[in-house]
Amino acid sequence: MREISAKKIIETVKDLCIAANTELPEDVLAALNTALKNEESPLGREILRQIIRNAAIAREEKLPLCQDTGLAVVFVELGEEVRLAGGSLAEAINEGVSRGYREGFFRKSVVADPLLRENTGDNTPAIIHTTVVPGDKFKIQLMCKGGGAENRSVIRMFKPTSTKEEIEKFILGTIEEAGPGACPPLIVGVGLGGNFETAPLLAKQALLRPLGKRHSAPDTAKWEKELLAKANRLGIGPMGLGGTTTALAVQIERRPCHISSLPAAVNIECHAHRCKEIIL
Amino acid sequence: MKSEKRNSKFEVNSNSKIKKIQPPLTDKDVAGLKAGDEVLISGKIYAARDAAHRAFGGKPPFDLKGQILFYASPTPAKPGAVIGSLGPTTSSRMDAFTPDLLKLGLKAMIGKGERSKEVVAAMKKHKAVYLVVPGGVAALLSKYIKKASVIAYPELGPEAVLELEVLDFPAIVAIDAKGNDLFAIGKQRYADQNNK
């Protein structure tokens, strides 16, 4: 058995929170620079330039890219041969989030109850998804997910006989409905299949894939490309003020499902895509 | 209100002018702002979002006449800094509260995203404008803020009401007091009609 200390996990999660909120990933910057070259609207181009300039200031001064430093969503791949020492996984992750948000001077955006709405004061609890995998690997992927874009996400249970065109209409309709308020240019995660709880999870996992890296199945990769082109013909543009860059990427994950079902979920992500990962 | 043609931050179109505005705004100031105009705001504005709007109960604890509300709540300031990162939150969540505040003399709102028909109707009736700033550029926007202090509801934590002193804070007029809507105009201009 390989031993990993809770202390190591706390430090790692803390560092990931700080890095995610202050350093826009290179793949997102590359997509924004490509968008700047292609955007037809002068105002759209200026907004893209501001987004790129903001990323430089945030990185340089270690300032949060966005005032909404998000809910910490943590995906863990825990090797079967890994033993945690000195504390539980969830406690260690939450402690790391708490320290990261305090030491990074980030906004605490979590309330303890959806109706009572009292702030927990340290941005915990994180949302934690753990998968046990063979081997002695320990991988953490962190996404700091803002509320504005998350609010525009949708799950719908289609009929098994629903057509690809119907699904496509749903995806593009969700992007159009998300519109200006979700901070376009958007990154769109799509989850197809599984059941009622897995389709949205797949949609979120689709967002973890580096931008510009197409799905490994050629038909899905082709569809991603087509959907991106169609999304960018909606006219919504940067911040919804009109333009040809409504999305930076559409990324799809597909899974087996019940003969009666065709669950489809769209997880909307803003351009401030704060995503970092590490393998211990 | 001063206008100038140079130093455009947004280059909406070649004819657009940058208008400098300073609250309290008059009906005449508001009437001079058209959807697509760029403005530079200087002076005092107020930051308030969801929980503060609920706490107002239609009666905010400060005078809204001629004032500008910014739908925002910052990250905590680092030691020695005026403020942390600050940018707009989604305005539509404030829609239900807005007509009552416009009735009290609120003249401008800053946020991101569209507004409801009811808000636009109230803006036309009470002569007010809706301004947008890009979301997710909060580190950049914080540079235009010179002072910040909590003036109401400190118990709301990050959602307390702030008074902000800003200098040449850049924004775009998204919906003017006649109801012209840059979201609709812009989308129509760039949408491919053969898309669907």
Tell which B residues from 17 to 46 touch A, by Cβ distance under 8 Å. Answer: none
Q: Where are the alpha helices (DSSP H) in A132-189?
A: 147-150, 164-178
**Angle (deg, nearest 10), helices A89-103 and A6-22:** 40
Compute CA distances A233 → A7, A61, B3, whole Å: 49, 36, 35
**Cα atoms in the 13 Å half-sphere on the side-chain side of B157:** 14
Minimal Cα–Cα distance from A88 to chain B, Å? 30
pLDDT at residue A194 greater than cutoff 60:
yes
The token pair that represents B103 in the structure block: 């009735």
Q: What is the CATH number of the domain that holds B83?
A: 3.20.130.10
Q: How far apart are CA A184 and CA A209, in angstroms?
A: 19
Task: Give the per-residue pLDDT at B192.
Answer: 83
Q: How far apart are CA A87 and CA B85, in angstroms?
A: 34
Domains of chain A: 2-23+65-145 (3.30.360), 148-272 (no CATH)
Q: Could you read off the pLDDT of A102-143 as tens digits, one per residue?
A: 999 999 999 999 999 999 999 999 999 999 999 999 999 999
Q: Could you read off the pLDDT of A30-78 as tens digits, one per residue?
A: 999 999 999 999 999 999 999 999 999 999 999 999 999 999 999 999 9
* Single-letter residue type at B1: M
Q: How far apart are CA A49 and CA A18, in angstroms?
A: 24
Asked whether residue B154 is assigned to any structural domain, the reply reads yes
Query: B74 to chain A: which residues are within 8 Å by CB?
Result: 67, 107
Q: How far apart are CA A267 and CA A177, in angstroms?
A: 13
Which amino acids of B are annotated catalytic? Answer: 53
Asked whether residue B18 is assigned to any structural domain, the reply reads no
* Single-letter residue type at B65: K
Angle at CA B155, nearest 5°, toward B152 and B161? 30
Strand partners, A262: A158
Q: Could you read off the pLDDT of B151-188 as tens digits, one per residue?
A: 999 999 989 999 999 999 999 999 999 999 999 999 99
Task: Give the per-residue pLDDT at B194.
Answer: 59
Task: Give the per-residue pLDDT at B12.
Answer: 47
- Assess B114–A contact: CB distance below 8 Å, yes or no: yes
Predicted complex: ipTM over 0.95: no
Query: How many residues does this entry show for chain A?
Result: 280
The token pair that represents B117 in the structure block: 């028909």
Minimal Cα–Cα distance from B174 to chain A, Å? 8
Q: What is the mean pLDDT of each run of 10 residues along chain B (196 residues)?
A: 45 64 97 95 98 95 97 96 96 97 98 97 98 97 97 94 97 97 96 68
The token pair that represents A130 in the structure block: 């753990």
Asked whether residue B141 is assigned to any structural domain, the reply reads yes
- Percent of chain A having pLDDT more than 90? 99
What domain range is B153 assigned to? Answer: 23-190
Asked whether residue B16 is assigned to any structural domain, the reply reads no
Q: Could you read off the pLDDT of A220-249 as tens digits, one per residue?
A: 999 999 999 999 999 999 999 999 999 999
**A97 touches A123 (CB < 8 A):** yes
The domain tally of chain B equals 1
* Closest residue on chain B to A51 (Cα): B137
Phi–psi pair at B129, nearest 5 degrees? -125, 155
Query: A115 to chain B: which residues are within 8 Å by CB?
Result: none
Q: Which of A30, A31, A46 is nearest to A243 (CA)?
A: A46
Task: Give the per-residue pLDDT at B15.
Answer: 52
pLDDT at residue A15 greater than cutoff 70:
yes
Asked whether residue B5 is assigned to any structural domain, the reply reads no
Compute CA distances A86 → A97, A162, B132, whole Å: 18, 51, 49
Task: Give the per-residue pLDDT at A212.
Answer: 82
Q: How far apart are CA A50 and CA A30, in angstroms?
A: 15
Asked whether residue B130 is assigned to any structural domain, the reply reads yes
**B112 touches A148 (CB < 8 A):** yes
